[in-house]
Amino acid sequence: MSRRMLLKGGTVYTGRGDDVIYSGFVEIFDGVIGRVGAVRDLTSTFDGDVVDTTGKTVMPGIIDTHMHVFHEPQMLRLSEGAAALWGANYVQSALRAGVTTMRDLGAQSGAVFGLRKALSEGYVVGPRYLVAGKAICMTGGHGWANLSAEADGEDAIRLLARQQIKLGADVIKVMASGGAGTPGELPTQAQLSMNEIRAAVEVAHDAGKPVAAHALANEGIMRAVEAGVDTIEHGVFLDDRAIELMLKRDVALCPTISVYPRIINRGPAGGESAFVIEKSKPLVAPHIESLRAAVAAGVRIVFGTDATTLYNPVGDFSDEMDLMVKAGMSPVEVMRSATGTAAEICGVSHLVGVLETGKLADVLVVDGDATRNIAALSDTFLVLKDGRSVYGKGDGYRNAALTAEPVLKADLSR
C-alpha cells in the first residue's frame, strides 16, 4: 500500500546548516522524504494525505546522542528480559515526544543489546536505538557501579572494546575522567592513560565506529582529544588550550548542559544520593562557562541530554535546549545540533538527520515557530518514524516520566 503525505505550510527546518524555509512543504512517499521546498513552488495537486502545518515547525526527528536506558540502580536488579521490556516502553514514550533516534552511552545490563536487536529488527516499534554496551573505565573509574566495565592496560581495553563491538555496539564509550555519579573519584581527576584511550580508539575506528569520551577534567579532555576520540561528553573544565585542540582535530562537544542542574533539582527526595548532589553543585558554573567559550570559538556542538530514566527522562529535553540557547546558541543552531550534526556524529547521516529527498521520513512537527522560540519543540503536534505516525497531538501519554513508576516503586531491600 502506498502511503503518501504532504506536510504543507509553516516553518520547515531541513536539519542542514541554517536552512529554514518559511511557508514550506515536505512530501513523504512510503516512509521516505520526497521533495522539500517552498509552498509557492507547489504546482500540481497532491494525490495523498495533506496535513496543514501552518503555524507549526516541521523538522527532522530529534537525535539524542547521549542517554542511558539502563542506568538506575533499580534497573540493575531486574532480569535482562524484564529490563528490556521496560526499556522498550521507556524509549517508545520518548519517541512520542519526537526523539526518533537515541544513542545509549553506557549500560552494564545485557538488556541493552536485546533492546537494540528487538528495535532494529522491528519486533517492537520504537526509535532508532544505537548503543555503546558497557562503557570502558579504569578500575574504580567513572561508572564502575552502574554504567561501565573496568579494564586496565591497553590489551584489556582492546579486549573489552572488541567484545562490545562483537555484541553489536554502534559506538565505544570511554571514561577519561571522574564525574559526579560514582563514589570514590573526583570530577577533576583524569582517568585512563592516553595509550589506554588510544587502544580503544584504534579498535573502534578499525571497525568504523566512533568513540565518545566522558571527560570533565581538563587533563582527561586533553588526553582523549590527543588519543583521537570523536566527541567529548560533558567537557566541564574546558580551557583555551583544550578548545583550540578540539577545533584543530574537529572533535565535537556534547555538553549535556542540563545534567547537573537536573541532579540537584531531583534532590534527596527524588532518590538522588547526597554525595552525587554535593559533587554536582560546583560543576554547574564552570560547565556553562565552558559551553559558552566553546560555542563562541566555533566548536561543533552536538545534542545529548544524559537522560537517565525516572526523574530525568529522555524525551524531556526542554531544559537542555533552553540552557544551550542561554550559552549563546541560536534556536536554529540548537536544532542543527540535534538533527544534521547529531546524525553525522552517530554515523547515520546517510539515513536520517536532514529533510532531503531519499532520506527516511523521521519527522517532528510542533506547534509554533521553534526557529524563534526553542520552547516550541516541546509542544509536539505529530511524530513520524519511517513515515509512519507514532504520535499525534492528543493521543494519550507523551512523557517518559509516566513510565517510571514501576521502577521507582521497586523494592531495593531485596
Which residues in this chain contact Zn ion in the complex, by CB under 5 A?
306
Of 27 and 64, nearer to Zn ion (C-beta) is 64
Of residues 100, 92, 126, 101, the one with CA closest to residue 364: 100
Q: How many other CB atoms are found less than 10 A from the CB of residue 208?
A: 9
Of 306 and 333, nearer to Zn ion (C-beta) is 306
Alpha carbon distance 322, 309 (integer Å) = 20
Q: Select the residue whose beta carbon is closest to Zn ion and give its number.
A: 306
Minimum distance of Zn ion from residue 171's CB (angstroms): 12
Q: Are strands 4-8 and 24-29 parallel, antiparallel or unpaired?
A: antiparallel
Minimum distance of Zn ion from residue 41's CB (angstroms): 43
Of 64 and 306, nearer to Zn ion (C-beta) is 306
Alpha carbon distance 233, 174 (integer Å) = 10
Crossing angle between the packed helical segments 259-266 and 284-297, to the nearest 10 degrees: 160
Minimum distance of Zn ion from residue 373's CB (angstroms): 28
Of residues 284, 223, 252, the one with CA closest to residue 66: 252
Minimum distance of Zn ion from residue 240's CB (angstroms): 26
Minimum distance of Zn ion from residue 105's CB (angstroms): 5
Residue 254 vs residues 105, 201, 212, 302: alpha-carbon distances, Å: 12, 18, 9, 5
Cell numbers that stand for 165 in this block: 563491538
Spatial CB neighbours of 114, under 8 Å, sequence gap ≥ 6:
80, 81, 84
Number of H helices, E strands in the chain: 14, 19
Q: What are phi and psi of 261, to 5 degrees?
A: -55, -35
Of 72 and 306, nearer to Zn ion (C-beta) is 306
Local structure of residue 374 (DSSP, 8 states): G
Minimum distance of Zn ion from residue 66's CB (angstroms): 6
Of 67 and 242, nearer to Zn ion (C-beta) is 67
For 27-55, give the DSSP string. EEETTEEEEEEEGGG--SPPSSEEEE-TT
Of 187 and 331, nearer to Zn ion (C-beta) is 187
Of 106 and 340, nearer to Zn ion (C-beta) is 106
Minimum distance of Zn ion from residue 104's CB (angstroms): 9
Cell numbers that stand for 25 in this block: 512543504
